[in-house]
């Protein structure tokens, strides 16, 4: 039976298991939206801005592991997706972005709202398509979802001219994919796995660094087995947080620019790094020449382009983390590393990093720790980008797999609120907290309207310090406190929330922190907490840009730690 391109697109989305999409319509994408009522299985959430739609689709994808879908019209609608697409590309998030395009005869004529979105997004997508024939649409959609979810996940864009959406053709959904040039390696090479096992069995000071690849592969059990059998301390990257339970005796936090000092120092002392699904980006390694100077390196990653890109690697293993670890674990000896673990414990005692000092005023670390205590860690936590992001990673303990959703590689301010919205849509029965900063929150504050309209019960905690805090911290430490363009003049966030019929509380006194969090938890639907916190609180530990991990700055002595 013949169907329009719009009907074919809907049929394909259903076949790919899509149940929700985030988007905004416009002139050239109207035919698709006009067709949606024929397919009630497809829920569409109207967002307030296309960037919010892209981040919401990311949050949905990060929470579920499924492909997130966002929709936009041509021109500014498509370009507004770019930041979200780039964010998904950097953090390996499976995403399909569908954009409308002007009719085929107008392409290249600078028609109204025409933009070459495939050209623009070429460097930030796994692949993208301009659909020039309605008959090829079904095949393209199937390929797009396959590419987005397989291998190293990432975003794929499909640009569809308006007349392709309205034209009729026979609909046949392909039952297989044939992409001869795309065959991700899943199983690791046996000889490389054997080499890695020998290094692990012979090492005295091994250290696991787990990244987001362990979460993508859902290799939680395999990672835990490797650590426990060989008694190897585990640290994570920022995006690897929640791949390994942080309350585990072998968990030693996360490393990098604002990671735990003891984790950074352990990298300097170890004799073997087992890098699992991580990129060795600059925020993790610090100065490359000073990274793990005494260690051999095993690097396991599904993307061969990442291996050897930033650091020397002694044993490269290309493959999916879960099956690679399953094979590796068969060759691991049951040993103990009592002296090394004892040394790690000593480092943790000597460099406590995340103790919270007692203060009369509200500091963000205290607020975040109380959210953790009240939720007992049973929550999906989504952050924006900035100081609050680092404090969340430090002071909320993540035992639940895949329970921290945050923007890593691109560091996208404005990510938190829409991504939390997407995560809550994915898991409506889960508690979802959006922890944000006053600067980051305002970058997609308009999505409060979406949350209110759809009654998406996200709990929002804003750390309101009146600054673009992370940049202000750099200005304080490295630019003689010249606070240029970092002080903010924020609105009354509770009044803004109230304008959307979202309840909220401004919290100025420390005694009110715990009751306000409990009030948010007890209230059905969304709730906003505006915490007025110390304006010039800094995030420590900190590795200055260009320094080695061992050159970590710890909290100044004037800020006395409590026990």
> pLDDT tens for residues 65-110?
999 999 999 999 999 999 999 999 999 999 999 999 999 999 999 9
**Torsion angle of the four alpha carbons 230, 236, 241, 242, in this order, in degrees rounded to the nearest 10:** 0
pLDDT above 90: residue 559: no
Across the range 490-514, mean pLDDT stands at: 98
Given the residues 16, 50, 306, 447, select the one marked as catalytic. 50
Please write the tens of the pLDDT for every residue from 219-271: 999 999 999 999 999 999 999 999 999 999 999 999 999 999 999 999 999 99
d(CA 384, CA 411): 8
Across the range 193-209, mean pLDDT stands at: 98
Q: What are the CA-CA distances from residue 452 to residues 160, 399, 533 (Å)? A: 31, 30, 26
The class that CATH gives domain 364-539 is: alpha beta
Given the residues 113, 225, 231, 446, select the one marked as catalytic. 113
Angular region, 467: left φ>0, alpha ψ -120 to 50, beta rest: beta
Q: Where in the chain is the domain with CATH 3.40.50.970?
A: 2-170, 364-539
Contact 242, 402 (CB under 8 A): yes
Contact 253, 297 (CB under 8 A): no
What per-residue confidence (pLDDT) applies to 563? 26
Out of 168-172, 432-436, 441-445, 555-559, which region has the weakest mean confidence (pLDDT)? 555-559
Residue 389: active-site member? no
Strand partners, 542: 553
- Secondary structure tally for the chain: helices H, strands E: 23, 20
Q: Which of 346, 277, 286 is nearest to 546 (CA)?
A: 286
What's the mean pLDDT when you consider all of the chain? 96
Tell me the three state secondary structure of residue 24.
coil
Across the range 442-466, mean pLDDT stands at: 98
Of all residues in the chain, what percent carry a pLDDT higher than 90? 97
What per-residue confidence (pLDDT) applies to 353? 84
- Scanning the structure block, which residue is given the tokens 């930041």? 83
Cα 121 versus chain centre, distance: 20
CATH T-level assignment (fold) for domain 2-170: Rossmann fold (3.40.50)
d(CA 157, CA 130): 9
pLDDT above 50: residue 558: no
Contact 434, 461 (CB under 8 A): yes
Residues, the chain: 563
* Paired tokens of 94: 């499976």
Please write the tens of the pLDDT for every residue from 345-369: 999 999 998 889 999 999 999 999 9
Cα 260 versus chain centre, distance: 20
Residue 396: active-site member? no
What per-residue confidence (pLDDT) applies to 557? 45
Q: If one looks up domain 190-350 in CATH, what number appears? A: 3.40.50.1220
Residue 470: active-site member? yes
Given the residues 66, 126, 162, 424, select the one marked as catalytic. 162
Across the range 458-479, mean pLDDT stands at: 97
Cβ neighbors of 511 (< 8 A, separation 6 or more) are none
Residue 112: active-site member? yes
* Paired tokens of 63: 């929470």
Burial 191-211 (b: 16+ CB within 10 A, else e): ebbebbbebbeebebbbbbbb
What per-residue confidence (pLDDT) applies to 555? 80
Question: Is the model's pTM score more than 0.85?
Answer: yes
Of all residues in the chain, what percent carry a pLDDT higher than 70? 99
Given the residues 260, 421, 470, 542, select the one marked as catalytic. 470
Q: Where in the chain is the domain with CATH 3.40.50.1220?
A: 190-350
pLDDT above 50: residue 527: yes
Span between the terminal Cα atoms of the chain, in Å? 73
pLDDT above 50: residue 562: no
Note every long-range contact of 518-523, with CB atoms under 8 Å and residues 24 or more positions apart, other chains counting: 518/374, 520/459, 520/461, 521/374, 521/375, 521/431, 521/459
pLDDT above 80: residue 560: no
Across the range 271-292, mean pLDDT stands at: 97
How many CB atoms are closer than 10 A to CB 376? 9
pLDDT above 70: residue 386: yes
Contact 94, 215 (CB under 8 A): no
Q: Which of 81, 80, 59 is nearest to 68 (CA)?
A: 59
Provide the strand spans (E) within 320-395: 380-383
d(CA 380, CA 60): 12
């Amino acid at each position: 039976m013949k169907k329009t391109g719009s009907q074919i697109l809907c049929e394909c989305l259903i076949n790919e298991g899509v149940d929700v999409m985030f988007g905004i319509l416009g002139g050239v994408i109207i035919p698709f939206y006009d067709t949606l009522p024929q397919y009630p299985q497809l829920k569409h959430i109207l967002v307030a801005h296309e960037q919010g739609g892209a981040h919401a689709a990311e949050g949905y994808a990060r929470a579920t592991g499924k492909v997130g879908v966002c929709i936009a019209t041509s021109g500014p609608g498509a370009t507004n997706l770019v930041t979200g697409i780039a964010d998904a590309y950097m953090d390996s998030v499976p995403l399909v972005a569908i954009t409308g395009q002007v009719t085929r005869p107008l392409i290249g004529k600078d028609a109204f709202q025409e933009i070459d979105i495939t050209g623009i997004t070429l460097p930030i997508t796994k692949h993208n398509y301009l659909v020039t024939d309605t008959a090829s649409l079904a095949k393209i959609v199937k390929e797009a979802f396959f590419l987005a979810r397989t291998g190293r996940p990432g975003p794929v864009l499909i640009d569809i001219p308006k007349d392709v959406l309205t034209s009729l053709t026979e609909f046949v959904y392909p039952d297989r994919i044939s992409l001869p040039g795309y065959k991700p390696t899943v199983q690791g090479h046996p000889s490389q796995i054997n080499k890695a096992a020998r290094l692990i069995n012979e090492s005295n000071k091994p250290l696991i660094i787990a990244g987001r690849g362990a979460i993508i592969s859902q290799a939680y059990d395999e990672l835990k087995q490797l650590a426990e059998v060989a008694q190897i301390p585990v640290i994570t990257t920022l995006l690897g947080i929640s791949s390994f339970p942080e309350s585990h005796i072998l968990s030693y936090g996360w490393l990098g620019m604002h990671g735990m000092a003891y984790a950074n120092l352990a990298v300097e002392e170890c004799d073997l790094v087992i890098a699992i699904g991580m990129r060795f980006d600059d925020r993790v390694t610090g100065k490359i020449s000073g990274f793990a100077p005494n260690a051999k390196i095993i690097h396991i990653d599904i993307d061969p382009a990442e291996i050897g890109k930033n650091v020397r690697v002694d044993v490269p293993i290309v493959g999916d983390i879960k099956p690679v670890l399953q094979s590796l674990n068969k060759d691991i000896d049951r040993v103990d590393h009592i002296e090394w673990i004892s040394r790690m414990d000593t480092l943790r005692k000597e460099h406590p990093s995340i103790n919270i000092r007692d203060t009369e005023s509200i500091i963000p670390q205290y607020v975040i720790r109380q959210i953790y205590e009240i939720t007992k860690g049973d929550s999906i936590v989504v952050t924006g980008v900035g100081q609050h992001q680092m404090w969340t990673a430090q002071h909320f303990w993540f035992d639940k797999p895949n329970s921290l959703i945050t923007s890593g590689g691109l560091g996208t301010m404005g990510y938190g609120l829409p991504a939390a919205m997407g995560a809550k849509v994915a898991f409506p029965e889960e508690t979802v907290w959006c922890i944000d900063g006053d600067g980051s929150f305002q970058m997609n504050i308009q999505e409060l309207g979406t949350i209110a309209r759809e009654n998406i019960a996200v709990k929002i905690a804003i750390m309101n310090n009146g600054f673009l805090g992370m940049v202000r911290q750099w200005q304080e430490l490295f630019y003689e406190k010249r606070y240029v363009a970092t002080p903010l003049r924020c609105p009354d966030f509770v009044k803004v929330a109230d304008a959307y019929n979202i309840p909220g509380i401004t919290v100025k006194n420390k005694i009110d922190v715990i009751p306000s969090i409990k009030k948010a938890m007890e209230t059905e639907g969304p709730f906003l907490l505006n915490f007025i916190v110390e304006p010039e609180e800094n995030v420590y530990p900190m590795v200055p840009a260009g320094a080695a991990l061992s050159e970590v700055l710890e909290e100044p002595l004037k800020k006395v730690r409590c026990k």
